Amino acid sequence: MNTIDRNASIAVIGAGSVGIAVAYYLVTQHKATNVVLVDPRDPMSLTSAQSGENYRNWWPHPVMTAFTDHSIDLMEAIDRESGGMLNMTRGGYALVTRRDKPQDLIDDLYRGYGAGSAQIRIRESASCDYEPPLRAPWQSAPAGVDVLLNRDLIRATFPYYASDVGAVIHVRRAGSISAQQLGQYMLTRIRAEGARVVRAEVKGISGSSPFRLEVATAEGTSSLHADVVVNAAGPYLQDIGAMLGEEIPVKHIYQQKISFQDREHAIDRKMPFTIDLDEQRLTWSVEDAALLASDPQTRRLVGPMQGSIHCRPDGPVDGNWIKLGWAYNKDASDPHGEDPLDPHFPDTVLRGASNLHPKLAAYIGRLPRGARHYGGYYTMTDENWPLIGKMKTPGAFIAGALSGYGSMAACSTGALCAAWVFGQEVPQYAMQLTMDRYQDDVLKAELAKLGGGCL
């Protein structure tokens, strides 16, 4: 045991996008001193490196809408301060269905926007004054939501979608960012304020404000004393919780994506981030279908599958990469084990996505050289809301369980957690993102009806 102790006022465990954001707001907004970020890996090299790098301000519950609106406010401020370093675009989110008037989705819009429901515009005429998608500059894009219920208007605006699309919900305060650039900007500011990034793995925690953290580094094992501990350990939230004697109610579900150069120009560069909401049935040859059905691991690919396949232009507006994802995996797995990358996924997501984007069929079985197939863990609560605030242990806080929306919500998560650490006032919605929500029977019933709390 190395007997040289190190001291910190606040130890933030985890240097992903969320941990970095917590440290950023601690030092920039609250002027915290002697803050240490602790992680055994390079910053933003685990789950954050697999980010979809998207953002939106619509969710089917006003708490999550307020939460992400807050985060977008903060990201826009950083983009302005940094001279556009975040590469923000504002093409929006297009939620697409073949149904003519999906009243349940429209009802979700009004529920999610709550007091902001006046921003919802129903477009039932082909001659309405609807503004088509504009990816950049983000400052010029409209806010609110346009609900397109006229097929002629949809064909004229989105000619690259399949011809059977019946409705498009175009969320306008939405788009893409460079999550890595956001992280690098924050790290630069953090270091300039005197905070440290320590390459170490936390092996144990003892005491309570002050805490003694046993940490393993390349030089050996030593200890770190901290008055406050923030658990921002991503897929390892439960490990840190257990060291504090607490159970963290999360599970870890591995989801996958592919990205590649769109040499066939299958996707229009002006296209919003698009989600096909409808149930999918994939087309297979008779032989392939029989083979897939014979294996319990692939049997689900030949039956009806859930919707929510997403596709978007990736990178700069004038680039040529695209990204596809489909979070159809429902099986929790252990983030300490080998990543359960599915070799069938690229073919599966291409077949599903080509039902809405027909030109993508050209890539089935022939992805371009250099295509990336990757994945990351969605660490999530059953209701798919984050956990931000005090833990039971005095002096310990949590910032995590951000499932697949960590990049878009990192800023508000960091700002809220930093406010909790300093005992400052937080927005009303923030109370429902703490562990205390599990004592609120009314909220629990609401979330049960939503079946997951978010899209």
Q: Could you state, in order of their start, the residue ranges of all structural domains in the chain?
A: 5-53+179-250+382-450, 93-175+252-380
Angle among Cα 112, 118, 122 to the nearest 5 degrees reads: 90
DSSP annotation of 159 reads: T
Whether the predicted pLDDT of 403 surpasses 50: yes
pLDDT at residue 75 above 70? yes
- pLDDT of 15 above 70: yes
Model confidence band, residue 4 (pLDDT cutoffs 50, 70, 90): very low
Q: How confident is the model at residue 3 (pLDDT cuts 50, 70, 90)?
A: very low
Residue type present at position 24: Y
pLDDT of residue 450: 80
Q: What is the pLDDT of residue 454?
A: 46
The tens digit of pLDDT for each residue in 133-145 reads 878 788 988 999 9
Please, are residues 7 and 224 in contact by the beta-carbon 8 Å criterion? yes
C-alpha distances out from residue 242 to 203, 237, 249, 254, Å: 11, 9, 11, 22
Higher pLDDT, 173 or 315: 173
Q: 384, 378 in Cβ contact below 8 A?
A: no
Q: Is the dihedral of CA 225, 229, 235, 239 positive or negative?
A: positive
The predicted pLDDT at position 133 comes to 87
Question: CATH assignment of 93-175+252-380?
Answer: 3.30.9.10
Banded model confidence at residue 297, pLDDT cuts 50, 70, 90: confident
Rounded CA gap, 455 and 452, in Å?
8
**pLDDT at residue 427 tops 70:** yes
Q: What is the pLDDT of residue 52?
A: 78
Question: What would the 3-class secondary structure string for 239-307 be?
Answer: HHHHHCCCCCCCEEEEEEEEEEECCCCCCCCCCCEEEECCCECCCCCHHHHHHHHCCCCCHHHHCCECC
- Judged against a pLDDT cut of 70, whether residue 209 lies above it is answered with yes
Name the pTM for this structure: 0.94
For residue 267, pLDDT over 60 is answered with yes
Distance of CA 181 to CAs 56, 90, 171, 184, 187, Å?
18, 17, 24, 5, 10
Question: Across the strands, what pairs with 146?
Answer: 121, 170
User: Stretch 157-166: mean pLDDT, rounded?
Assistant: 96
Residue 416's CB is within 10 A of a number of other CB atoms, namely 29
Q: How far apart are the first and last CA of the chain?
A: 48
Domain 5-53+179-250+382-450 has CATH 3.40.47.10: no
Pick the range with the lowest mean pLDDT from 49-53, 72-76, 88-92, 292-296: 49-53
Q: Residue 448: its pLDDT value, please? A: 86
* 226 has pLDDT over 50: yes
- Cα torsion 134, 176, 122, 168: sign: positive
pLDDT confidence tier of residue 1, bands split at 50, 70 and 90: very low
Q: Is 265 left (phi over 0), alpha (psi -120 to 50) or beta?
A: left
CA 222 from centre of chain: 34
| pLDDT tens-digit readout, 228-244 | 999 999 999 999 999 99
